[in-house]
Amino acid sequence: MTRLSHGHIRFGTFERLAHLRESDRLRQLVAYSVRNYFQALDPDNGVLFFREVLERTARLTAQWMMAGFVHGVLNTDNMNITGESFDYGPWRFLPTYKPEFTAAYFDHAGLYAYGRQPQAVYWNLDRLALALSTVFDATSLRAELVRFPDRFHREVLACFFERMGLERPADLGRAEDLFVAGMQLLATTQKPFEDLFFDWYAGRSERAAHWTAATEWQRLLAAMTPCAQSLARGAGGYYRGERAETVLIGEVERRLSEIYRNGNWQPFYDKVARLREKGQGTWIRSVIDLRTTGLCRVAFSTSRSFFKMTTLWSSINPQGFMCINPKWRGVVFRAR
């Protein structure tokens, strides 16, 4: 097995040094991390280091959510400072939109369910900030930590609109309305998660007949502007195919079986080629690389709580799924 990543420094590494009260080594690790990964920063400034990690992590988490990716084991030892998917173990991709969907066979309580991933990531950032607070200013670290909900919120919208091939409107309310309508449509119809981004890419409607209860979604979608690049991409190639490309666990197992039994790698190579065509020119390419790792197991790129949750993050419904934005309540993180 080969593991590739820009970095393998885990959140948990900082926790260990803090627990052992090895303050000098903790400072050295921050300085080493900055010099090797974030050269534009001051290696002696742990607060700016934390800000960079938080922003990268918010972007990564948003990409997971908009790719329908479920990590499996989202503890602090399975997250790295460079903001790349790392040690995801029994991963899955959503067949349909179900926030309670889990990847790990042992996650009976749904601790790392799809809809709980932002909450788990926030907790992990809280733990990292706690470790760093043993040698850097706790008040400043807290101020950075509470920026995560808003940062994640904006990154989710950015990823959603890129996946849809649309220009994101300057009016945040309009952007949210379309996002919420899309998630509601997936929740209501239980159509395959990828179909929303395939069938309606760049605002096209040729496949509208395949969808029910889509009136509000279509109304909002019609008011959006396709990106020039997405119009070109949608005119041929992947988006003119018959269906969306996915790598759900059943297909992964079939590909592996073909390799194990017959030594035949060609179906795997063909699948990777189609996935790369799907992600050409977008951030989804890094997630596609992540998808292929399920076949060959290679990782490519992208106690008491110390800090109190902000009001935005403190609303937890009876099923325990955290709401990121009041407007999204009951949609993005609803337990069904």
- What b/e sequence results for 239-272 when a residue is b if at least 16 CB atoms lie within 10 Å of its CB, and e otherwise? beeeebbbbbeeebeebeeebeeeeeeeebeebb
Model-level pTM? 0.84
Q: Which residue has the tokens 């399975």?
A: 78
pLDDT tens for residues 42-79? 999 999 999 999 999 999 999 999 999 999 899 999 99
Residues with catalytic function: 77
Write the DSSP assignment of 265-285 as a string of letters: -HHHHHHHHHHHHHHTTSTHH
Q: Using pLDDT thresholds of 50, 70 and 90, give the confidence band for residue 157.
A: very high
pLDDT range class, residue 325, cuts 50, 70, 90: low
Q: Domain spans of the chain?
A: 11-156+304-328, 245-302
Using the 8-state DSSP alphabet, how is residue 68 labeled? Answer: T
What are the pLDDT digits (tens) for 235-259? Answer: 777 888 888 989 898 888 888 888 9
Pairing mode, strands 69-70 and 92-93: antiparallel
What whole-number percentage of the chain has pLDDT above 90? Answer: 60
